[in-house]
Amino acid sequence: MKGMAFRDRRDAGKQLAAALESYRDRNPLILGLPRGGVVVAAEVAAALEADLDILVVRKLGAPDQPELGLGAIAEGGVLLLNEPLMRQVRVSKEQLQATIDAENEELKRRLDSYRGDRKPIDVTDRLVIVVDDGLATGGTVRAAAGALQHLGAGSLVLGVPVGSPRTVEELQPLFDDIVCLETPVTFWAIGQFYADFNQTTDEEVVRLLA
């Protein structure tokens, strides 16, 4: 891959929408993962004339290793714990409770900010296309897949502009299909494949969902 793959998240969304065109007639629900994934998802939803919503998930990091995901929470009261890994690193649910409480507060703040009083779109038995702006370790996407299975989604598709080849391969069992436009062998960070990868604001997420 020579040069930048995408001008910005909107350009990435337009390119991703073209690759997801075959799902247009299946009444898909496009779920963007805040924040950056919502910009990409909005372009996909507009192109496919599909419903757009968000799914707020928060990773639960180990007390002494915040980057080590021991589980996740998601809206709708979903709590997912990786109990084998918790046993391996000798962390109990009680020891993780402070993290769970803190992440629940942040999840509530984001839901209040992004959605307000609006109800989430029901995912039951629907084809759901989860969209993010890229895949590095895939922790958030794993949490999203687990939450959507718990909430009764029909079929799960993952759509991302760019991803680590290893992560894409690891996520295959969790989705019925994965559409990833670029899987470069040399992958350091998602931002390296965007000319403009400025942080998406809460205000932009709210505007896109309005």
Question: What is the topology classification, in CATH, of domain 58-114?
Answer: Ybab; Chain: A; (3.30.1310)
What pTM was computed for the model? 0.89
Structure tokens belonging to residue 148: 């959507």
Which regions of the chain does DSSP assign to beta strands (E)? Answer: 29-32, 51-54, 57-61, 69-74, 78-81, 127-131, 155-162, 177-182
Residues 56-73 have pLDDT tens digits of 988 898 988 887 888 888
68, burial (CB in 10 Å: exposed 0-12, middle 13-18, buried 19+): middle
Sign of the Cα torsion 187, 205, 107, 175 reads: negative
Please give the pLDDT value at position 50. Answer: 98
Please give the pLDDT value at position 65. Answer: 86
Strand 69-74 relative to strand 57-61, pairing: antiparallel
CB 86 within 8 A of CB 64: no
The alpha carbon torsion through 187, 188, 194, 199 (nearest 10 deg) reads 140
Structure tokens belonging to residue 36: 């950056």
Question: What is the topology classification, in CATH, of domain 9-55+121-209?
Answer: Rossmann fold (3.40.50)
Domain boundaries, the chain: 9-55+121-209, 58-114
How far are the Cα atoms of 41, 54, 104, 206 from residue 202, in angstroms, in the given order?
15, 12, 18, 6
Please give the pLDDT value at position 69. Answer: 83
Please give the pLDDT value at position 3. Answer: 53
> Could you check whether 9-55+121-209 and 58-114 share the same CATH topology?
no
Please give the pLDDT value at position 22. Answer: 97
Please give the pLDDT value at position 16. Answer: 98
Share of the chain above pLDDT 90, in %: 74
Residues of the chain with pLDDT below 50 are 2
Residues 84-115 have pLDDT tens digits of 989 999 999 999 999 999 999 999 999 999 98
